[in-house]
Chain A
Amino acid sequence: MRRRVPLAWRILCHDPRRLALSVGGITFAVLIIFAEVGFLNGLYDGQVEVLDKIDGDAFILSRVKFSLAVDMPFPRRRIEQALACDSVVSAAPLWIAGGALWRNPADRSLHRMRVLGIDPGASPSADPEVTARLEELTRPDTVLVDRRSRSYLGPREPGVVTEVSRRRFRGVGTFDLGTDLVFNGTLVTSDRSFLEIASDADASPPRLERVELGVLKLRPGRDPARALEEVRAILPRDVVVLSREELVERELTFWKVNTPIGAMFGLGALMGFVVGIFICFQVLATEVTDQVRQLATLRAIGHEDGRLLRLVLQQAVILALFGFAAGLLLSELLYGWLDGVTGIHMRLTVGRASVVFGLALVMCAVSGCLAARKALAADPAELF
């Protein structure tokens, strides 16, 4: 085995202060990318976050309901019809109204909130905090309040008493959901209370016979795609039946097509990327310029261009690794802070971190190639 002198590593480590500054610059760029990617994904995630709180394999919804954020109910009877299908274990109704009016108990200001109505006897909730409070929800005029609702909604702790859609309600618990592009916060209440709130908020009072979502649980061990086909076959054409994945996909597509979120934050991430290229190029070009005679000497004594290219690219990759590692750690802090300030849930998944890592790598590789051109311009004939 031939062992090469780790020249790239040695050069970078030779001046620790310079290395720290260089890595700092790249970390900054990586952090910008992390923030933008975080916002981008956080906003999209927020639109389907409510589905994470619902325990169901598939959903029935009105054929005309184009987004979870709009109220387009369908007849409750469809849910009972679905139950007739052998593959369906359970089917629970979920009532949703986007226009509940919440009065801030502290300063009396009014704010719009989303309210989810569930049947406490057949709760589709997947949230243990909600499930634990079902008993309390059966009492009239009680609500559970989203703890992560916007701060201007005021106090929300259990025991708080305030007005929701001009009726007195008592908060009997909290849960975590978060805000999204449309809603400042969410309430969970029983079907009865939902009727009180929603009939007041809406011009045409919805009856409990009209629901927003039917939450289906499919029999385990069956092919889900075939099960859905069976359900679709027995339900009339005024509703559609979608698997959880299909519904998430459809909802995200709606927001991607109808909002400039992708362009806004994508551009932001691109800016971070470009800034990163500049910073990294500056760092590498300075190293190359400082050692141009040494590099020319390498060429003079017979090293090939590839060796010089590798030298610069290795430095670029090392900087990318350090910059990414530091950026990853800092982004955890940044996400936590932004989460608290904005209520947008910034999730860092392995996939997303990998995307940022890929960007950081490409960023440094591009600047490495640019800087390598300078290295390859080092003319050994000038040394004599």
Chain B
Amino acid sequence: MSEPVVRARSLRHTFGAGETSKVVLQEVNLEVSAGEIVILTGPSGSGKTTLLTLVGALRSVQEGSLAVLGRELSGLAPREMIAVRRGIGFVFQAHNLFDALSAHENVRMALELHDLAEPEVHERARAILERVGLGHRVHYKPAALSGGQRQRVAIARALVNRPRLVLADEPTAALDEKAGREVVTLFQELARAGTTVLMVTHDSRVLDVADRIVNMVDGRLASDVRARESLRICELLKACPVFAPLVAAELAEIAQRMTREVHPSGATIVRQGEVGDRFYVVAEGSVDVLVAKDGARTLVSRQGPGGFFGEAALLTGQPRNATVEATTEVTLYSLSKEYFQAALESSATFKEQLLDVFFQRR
């Protein structure tokens, strides 16, 4: 497999110094391959914007390692960072076009960075504008363009140098649904041609284009879900009676927050008496739930695909009441305690259902 376009290792970042310093990124590990569309989500202040500025060489790496387009950014001089930035396409939430320049000239401002002959500069600017559907608006100034058209000019400016990596911050936030769809469709076309897109967005209308959705919380990657996988998890959860009270959006949220785990046959997944901090759903294979009592181990149940375990410790706050072992190689999706609690809070019926199961199992 080719080298990842972005590779972060133990990336840490702190704002400020001394007493008032604030850690915005801690131990971030992330790899993005060529042609992937990765959406970064997470609440504000979760560090996703900081991560984007670090990847874009707009900020110096403080701790850890970050390689972008095969170049280690840690310890780069400002001049070298500028060189890295020239290989990246930037799309900001605001279009940031010069009002005084036509669409064509705004795009040319990016072409000036490279030593190109005049006919080629002219042609490339025109071609990229055509590509984003503005062939008929080449010499219009931003004031004469609609919001969507302006954003497309900004995207044309980001793409005109054919970057291998595009960083986009809420590129669809200021656009209506149709214009937003056009923008992400363009990204998909780029990705098919091998360009990597790393996009911060809260726009639920465009999440479906993502190959991966990375969720950040408090400066950490809380989950990193392959979106197609996420859909599969949703299907899995939907088939599970206990999740029936949850609506699709709630299921999707849980799915996004789940982490995939694969355990070999015979592995112990939870151990009786330990502190319980995760909830598990079985995707493939099966597990045995065993309770040890007075020196003897009793098989309580066997859980196959769609089965779940681990809820008891999270509901009661007591240690694990059973040991779970893999009987085959097993694929699990697990949810951390806090997201499990959050899911409980979101639906009273869901909580009741789970409690029912919990009491039945006792």
Contact = CB atoms under 8 A, between A and B. Distances in A.
A240 interface: no
Contacts, number: 84
B203 to A, nearest CB: 15
Contacts of B59: 381
Interface stretch (A56-64, A224-232, A298-306): A298-306
Interface stretch (B49-57, B217-225, B240-248): B49-57
B108 interface: yes
Interface in A357-384: 380-381, 383-384
B92 A384 contact: yes
A313 B304 CA distance: 72
B183 interface: no
Nearest to B111: A5
Contacts of B56: 300, 384
B100 interface: yes
Interface residues of A, number: 25
Contacts of A217: none
A12 to B, nearest CB: 8
B106 to A, nearest CB: 8
Given A300-B58, A301-B85, A4 B101 contact: no
A11 B52 contact: no
B116 interface: yes
Contact of A302 (B85, B93, B117): B85
A1 B274 CA distance: 73
B173 interface: no
Nearest to A379: B58
Contacts of A1: 118
Contacts of B100: 7, 10-11, 13-14
B52 A384 contact: yes
Given A4-B112, A5-B105, A384-B49, A304 B82 contact: yes
A282 B59 CA distance: 30
B94 A293 contact: yes
Interface string B52-86: 11001011000000000000000000010011011
Contact of A5 (B58, B92, B101, B116): B101
B125 to A, nearest CB: 10
Contact of A384 (B58, B82, B115, B116): B58
Contacts of A381: 53, 58-59
Most A CB contacts (10 A, CB to CB) among B98, B101, B105 go to B98
Contacts of B116: 2
Interface in A1-43: 1-5, 7, 10-11, 13-14
Contacts of B85: 300-302
Given A5-B112, A10-B101, A301 B58 contact: no
B150 to A, nearest CB: 12
A199 B141 CA distance: 82
A10 B56 CA distance: 29
A109 interface: no
B97 interface: yes
A4 B158 CA distance: 18
B311 interface: no
A74 B278 CA distance: 118
Given A297-B96, A300-B58, A383-B92, A7 B101 contact: yes
A380 B81 CA distance: 12
Nearest to B53: A381
Nearest to B108: A5
Given A13-B100, A384-B200, A5 B82 contact: no
B109 interface: yes
Contacts of A302: 82-83, 85-86, 113
A354 interface: no
B58 A297 contact: no
A294 interface: yes
A300 B96 CA distance: 11
Enumerate the 5 nearest inter-chain pairs by beta-carbon distance, A residue then B residue, closest first.
A14-B100, A302-B86, A10-B100, A297-B96, A381-B58
28 contacts: A2-B112, A2-B115, A2-B117, A2-B118, A3-B118, A3-B121, A7-B98, A7-B100, A7-B105, A10-B105, A11-B98, A291-B98, A297-B96, A298-B109, A300-B56, A300-B90, A300-B92, A301-B85, A301-B109, A303-B82, A303-B109, A304-B82, A383-B58, A383-B96, A383-B169, A384-B49, A384-B58, A384-B92
Interface of A: 1-5, 7, 10-11, 13-14, 291, 293-294, 296-298, 300-304, 380-381, 383-384
